[in-house]
Amino acid sequence: MYKVLICAIGTLLAAAPSTAAVVKIRVTVENLAPQNSISFAPLRFGFHNGTFDSFDNGAVATQPIISIAEGGSGSDWFPAFAAAEPDAVLGSVGGALTPGATATSMTFLVDTAVNRYFTFGSMVIPSNDYFIGNDNPLEYRLFDMGGNLLIGEIVQTADEIWDAGSEAFDPANAAFLVGGNNDLRTAQNGVVGFDFLELAGFNGLQTAAGYTFDSQLGAGLPIYRISFTSSAVPEPASWAMMLIGFAAVGASVRRRKVALVAA
């Protein structure tokens, strides 16, 4: 048994990293919009090195961000993210997040020496192609060199809602509306830009969640919060000390057994 413990200790010490900390991090999202206002599709996100850029203000939307803005799935966003940054840590949280609702993710292990930045996207519903997200991949640096959180939360306001410019406004084709068919789309051939005013065009329509939509949005109104909690992962050296302690306990127990036999 002692040989096994010594080998395990040696292996852990040899693997001890010289870079920033690996941390456990949990993501929580909250819909801050007024009652009966906008909801959100699941949040798609990644912890990454700052390379992946899924869209740009004033540019034509590409398929990765369209897969979030028009359907909320991220079916093209995730593969594009992984192709650009194979070491990124990707995930989702929430379902259809209605006003006042909260959802919490599973815990992710993030090497903060590699993935210090956070990028996200979520479809605003009901809509044809509205979403929230960051167009600058370096906008949200979460960790410092020691793996400590630099940002505890990200709050989005109504004037930070994006229109992908890819699909024309049409309640009959909008997601999250009773009678709306999100599989039917009319191309808009526009560019990505900020806009929340058009959402008032859905006022009075019934949503899939059972409430009658009423936008109530104004510039600067908080609509969405992303919160982060993190904790350190024990370093290999710490585990080694624990194993040494276990070995000492084991040796003590064995000496007591020998003493009892001798008696």
Note the pLDDT tens digit of each residue in 167-181: 999 999 999 999 999
Q: What is the DSSP letter of 75?
A: T
pLDDT at 119: 98
pLDDT at 236: 57
89-104: pLDDT as tens digits: 999 999 999 999 999 9
Least confident of 70-74, 89-93, 164-168, 256-260: 256-260
Q: State the pTM of this model.
A: 0.83
Q: Does position 262 have pLDDT exceeding 80, yes or no?
A: no
pLDDT at 259: 38
Range of the structural domain that residue 50 is part of: 21-234
Which phi and psi (to 5°) does residue 81 adopt? -60, -50
Least confident of 109-118, 165-174, 239-248: 239-248
- Mean residue pLDDT of the chain comes to 87
Total number of domains constituting the chain = 2
Q: 27 and 41 in one domain?
A: yes
Q: 177 and 50 in one domain?
A: yes
Alpha helices for the chain (secondary structure H) = 2-14, 63-69, 77-84, 236-262
204-242: pLDDT as tens digits: 999 999 999 999 999 999 999 999 999 988 765 444 443
Residue of 29, 41, 64 whose CA lies nearest to 174: 41
Q: 10 and 93 in one domain?
A: no
124-182: pLDDT as tens digits: 999 999 999 999 999 999 999 899 999 999 999 999 999 999 999 999 999 999 999 98
For residues 121 and 42, what is the distance between their CA atoms, to the nearest angstrom? 9
pLDDT at 60: 98
Q: 244 and 222 in one domain?
A: no
Q: 161 and 32 in one domain?
A: yes
For residues 193 and 103, what is the distance between their CA atoms, to the nearest angstrom? 28
Q: 177 and 79 in one domain?
A: yes
Q: How confident is the model at residue 20 (pLDDT cuts 50, 70, 90)?
A: low
Q: 257 and 130 in one domain?
A: no
Q: 241 and 227 in one domain?
A: no
Q: 230 and 102 in one domain?
A: yes
pLDDT at 145: 87
Long-range contacts: 58-62, Cβ < 8 Å, 24+?
A: 58/191, 58/192, 58/193, 59/191, 59/192, 60/165, 60/190, 60/191, 60/192, 61/129, 61/164, 61/165, 61/166, 61/191, 61/192
pLDDT at 174: 97
Q: 189 and 199 in one domain?
A: yes
* CATH number for the domain harbouring residue 68: 2.60.40.2130
Q: 134 and 170 in one domain?
A: yes
Q: 195 and 225 in one domain?
A: yes
